[in-house]
Amino acid sequence: MEVDIINRINQIREAKKLSGREFAAIIGSKPNTFNQQINSKRSVSYETVQNILSTFEDISSEWLLRGEGDMLKAIPHISYVTGRPYYNVDFIGGFDLILNDQTINPDYNIDFAPYNKDGVMWCNITGHSMEPEINSGDILAIKEVPEWDQFIVLDDVYAIVTKNELRTVKRVKKGSNDDKYLLVPTNPDYSAQEIGKEMIYKVFSVLGCMKRL
């Protein structure tokens, strides 16, 4: 409801310790227009909402628009108590160490609420085939997909380990027949490649990526 968004905008303003005029100036709105919006004399515009979110990058859009979650976005941080394990290995090059040697310990945990779920782990990614969606040097949050051969959500991004120990991150699409997948890069400089399901050893869902902490 309109009044709820107005209340949340005022909460942001109070949290930032800004007057209405100061707040309007910072987000690039005319003071009179902004004042009329927060006093219900005219509707809060889409432009005002966008200006607030682009100016205050720590404000959650879900909270501002729908009142869901917290005002401030969850910020990923290093932890040795909570979160999910980060392994300082490259999925493309050395991820088999984690798969095959359970004695290897993570460097630390990454505590980031959206991905603090059982089975999730973080590792490095190199290569340019998924840029700009996923950049070389990013870290990935991945989770193994059990029984991937029975069901997989096509058009999502997955990290795949093959039986001949190759590892790749690609968008998975339907292949030329039911026994094959088409692995599609984001970067147009790279070609799509078809792979038989019998060649796949493990599949991990790519939940998200971010710059190294």
97 vs 195: which has the higher pLDDT: 195
Residue numbers of the domain that contains 163: 77-210
Check whether residue 62 and residue 95 sit in a common domain. Answer: no
Q: Tell me which of 14, 39, 66 is where a domain ends.
A: 66
Check whether residue 81 and residue 49 sit in a common domain. Answer: no
- The kind and range of the H/E element at 162 are strand 157-162
Check whether residue 108 and residue 163 sit in a common domain. Answer: yes
pLDDT mean over 94-105: 80
Q: What is the CATH number of the domain that holds 48?
A: 1.10.260.40
Check whether residue 95 and residue 147 sit in a common domain. Answer: yes
pLDDT mean over 12-29: 94
Is 90 exceeded by the pLDDT of residue 182?
A: yes
38 domain residue, yes or no: yes
pLDDT of residue 1: 61
Check whether residue 28 and residue 95 sit in a common domain. Answer: no
pLDDT of residue 114: 86
Check whether residue 186 and residue 93 sit in a common domain. Answer: yes
Check whether residue 81 and residue 59 sit in a common domain. Answer: no
pLDDT of residue 152: 95
Is 90 exceeded by the pLDDT of residue 93?
A: no
Check whether residue 134 and residue 183 sit in a common domain. Answer: yes
Query: ∠180-187-76 over CA atoms, to 5°?
Result: 95
CA distance 172 to 142: 15
CA distance 4 to 44: 11
Is 80 exceeded by the pLDDT of residue 117?
A: yes
150 domain residue, yes or no: yes
The model's pLDDT over 44-86, given as tens digits with 9 standing for 90+, comes to: 999 999 999 999 988 988 899 989 888 988 889 999 999 999 9
Is 90 exceeded by the pLDDT of residue 209?
A: yes
Domain count, the chain: 2
Query: Mean pLDDT for the chain?
Result: 92
The residue type of 141 is A
pLDDT of residue 53: 92
Is 80 exceeded by the pLDDT of residue 2?
A: no
CA 157, 57, 85, 118: dihedral to nearest 10 degrees? -70
28 domain residue, yes or no: yes
1 vs 154: which has the higher pLDDT: 154
Query: ∠147-152-155 over CA atoms, to 5°?
Result: 155
71 domain residue, yes or no: no
Check whether residue 45 and residue 133 sit in a common domain. Answer: no
Check whether residue 58 and residue 92 sit in a common domain. Answer: no
Check whether residue 24 and residue 61 sit in a common domain. Answer: yes
Check whether residue 53 and residue 111 sit in a common domain. Answer: no
pLDDT of residue 70: 87
Is 90 exceeded by the pLDDT of residue 177?
A: yes
18 domain residue, yes or no: yes
Q: What is the CATH number of the domain that holds 165?
A: 2.10.109.10
72 domain residue, yes or no: no
pLDDT of residue 181: 98
pLDDT mean over 125-133: 94
Question: pTM for the full model?
Answer: 0.71
Q: Tell me which of 42, 66, 90 is where a domain ends.
A: 66
Q: Tell me which of 37, 66, 95 is where a domain ends.
A: 66
DSSP 93-145: HHTHHHHH-TTPPPSEEEE-GGG--TTEEEEE---STTTTTS-TT-EEEEEE-
pLDDT bin (cut points 50, 70, 90) of residue 198 is: very high
191 domain residue, yes or no: yes
